[in-house]
Amino acid sequence: MIADLYVIRKSGKYKGKYTYGLFATQFVPKGTIDGFFCKKCGYYSKEEFAKLPKKKRLFIIDHEVVQENGLYSHFCDKRMQYDNHSCNANVLSSGKGFGIVVRDIKKGEEVTSDYRMNGEDEVHFEGGCKCGSKDCMKDTTFRPPASKKLQNFWNRRINAAVKRIPYVKQPLKRKLLKEHPELSYLFDKKAK
């Protein structure tokens, strides 16, 4: 499930082919919960995955991170697959089952996440990461676990964004709490 804040658009060209990314259709403030792995999201079983057309399989391998159970995700909304990597992403995985905007996103700005947070597999960036952020690792391969410094970098951003949750518009609040009522404390101003 992803909030209806983004569209898929061409983001550039790579080896003569267009690449795509996610772009904000409006201003999205820091602290916005923008997506979560909902009941309609799921996984391809190994058999289902093998039966997909090759093009689709390759797309998933490129865009999706293998989950802890060794299976590829099957998202309920394809926009969830289109966020590109940045070493200084504006959306991070909160560790609580949802993604959170950690820096205000302007209307029209590309929405990025940090692939290095995903799972225990190596992440490959062909020709070295070219995300262009000033903190870019520029490496071709990232091998987990992340350094303490990198983990602190993520945690600082996530914690600051989580504090903003009660104070910004939350398009997914009702849907998230329906599936995860235990997260209601995050929307409570008094708790902070």
Residues that bind Zn ion (CB under 5 A): 1, 38, 40-41, 76, 87, 129, 131, 136
Classify each residue of 105-129 as buried b or exposed e, where b means 16 or more C-beta atoms within 10 Å of its C-beta: beeeebbbbbbbbbeeeebebeeeb
Contact 21, 8 (CB under 8 A): yes
- The smaller minimum CB distance to Zn ion, of residues 40 and 163, is found at 40
- The smaller minimum CB distance to Zn ion, of residues 1 and 105, is found at 1
Q: How far is the CB of 176 from Zn ion (least distance, A)?
A: 11
What residues does 6 pair with on adjacent strands?
A: 24
Could you tell me how many helices (H) and strands (E) the chain has, helices first? 4, 11
Q: How far is the CB of 37 from Zn ion (least distance, A)?
A: 6
Neighbour tally for 152: CB within 10 Å: 11
- The smaller minimum CB distance to Zn ion, of residues 147 and 190, is found at 147
Residue 28 has what DSSP assignment? Answer: B
- The smaller minimum CB distance to Zn ion, of residues 38 and 158, is found at 38
Q: How far is the CB of 152 from Zn ion (least distance, A)?
A: 18
Helices assigned H by DSSP within 20-100: 46-51, 54-63
Q: How far is the CB of 167 from Zn ion (least distance, A)?
A: 25
